[in-house]
């Protein structure tokens, strides 16, 4: 697991890489005179860069990097991210639990089992992380069985096949607690 400074550096490099990719596409659109597609693409790029910036400033660069590596870089068709306030610096156990949870989620998302993921980080007096999986298919039912077994105190099955997992950031369930 990376330390805070190393995580900040990796997030900075990832943001820089994303920004340069957007500039390259914009340059190509200009060269090909695709002016009608240019403005919507610039808006989309701007929103994405702002979203990654909010994530990077969440309060714990290690958590931000885990989220970026597991949800931003892979094939999540639609990721909605909301960062409200700054999170505390997570303990090693909480960070390890988050890494395990995100790795399991990523594995199922890569199988194409979910169309939209909503990820909410809340700071303040009771910091928490909420994950909502929307538009489910059969593939993700195994994921929810796993989540129900490992984090059953925090999971909520909602109507229309949505599942919401809200975890207190100061005491994420660890392997030893399961």
- Residue 116 dihedral angles phi and psi, to the nearest 5°: -135, 140
Kind and range of the H or E element at 53?
A: helix 35-56
When divided into structural domains, the chain yields a total of: 1
Quote the pTM value. 0.77
Q: What is the CATH number of the domain that holds 82?
A: 3.30.565
- List strand residue ranges (DSSP E) for the chain, in order: 78-84, 114-122, 128-136, 155-157, 163-168
pLDDT for the residue numbered 96: 82
Per-residue pLDDT of the chain (178 residues; tens, 9 = 90+): 568 899 999 988 988 888 999 999 999 999 999 989 999 999 989 988 888 888 888 889 999 999 998 888 765 667 888 888 888 888 887 788 788 778 877 777 777 666 678 888 888 787 888 877 776 555 456 666 666 666 555 566 565 656 666 666 655 544 444 3
- Provide the domain limits for residue 135: 4-177
């Amino acid at each position: 697991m990376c330390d805070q400074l190393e995580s900040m550096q990796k997030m900075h490099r990832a943001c820089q890489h994303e920004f340069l990719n957007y500039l390259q596409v914009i340059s190509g659109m200009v060269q090909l005179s695709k002016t009608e597609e240019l403005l919507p693409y610039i808006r989309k790029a701007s929103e994405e860069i702002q979203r990654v910036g909010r994530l990077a400033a969440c309060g714990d660069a290690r958590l931000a990097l885990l989220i970026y590596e597991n949800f931003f870089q892979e094939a999540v068709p639609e990721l909605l991210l909301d960062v409200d306030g700054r999170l505390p610096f997570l303990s090693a156990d909480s960070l390890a639990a988050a890494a395990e949870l995100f790795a399991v989620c990523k594995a199922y998302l890569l199988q194409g089992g979910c169309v939209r993921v909503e990820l909410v980080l809340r700071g303040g007096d009771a910091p928490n992380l909420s994950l909502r999986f929307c538009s489910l298919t059969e593939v993700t039912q195994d994921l929810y069985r796993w989540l129900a077994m490992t984090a059953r105190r925090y999971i909520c099955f909602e109507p229309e096949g949505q599942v919401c997992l809200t975890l207190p950031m100061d005491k994420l369930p660890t392997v030893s607690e399961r």
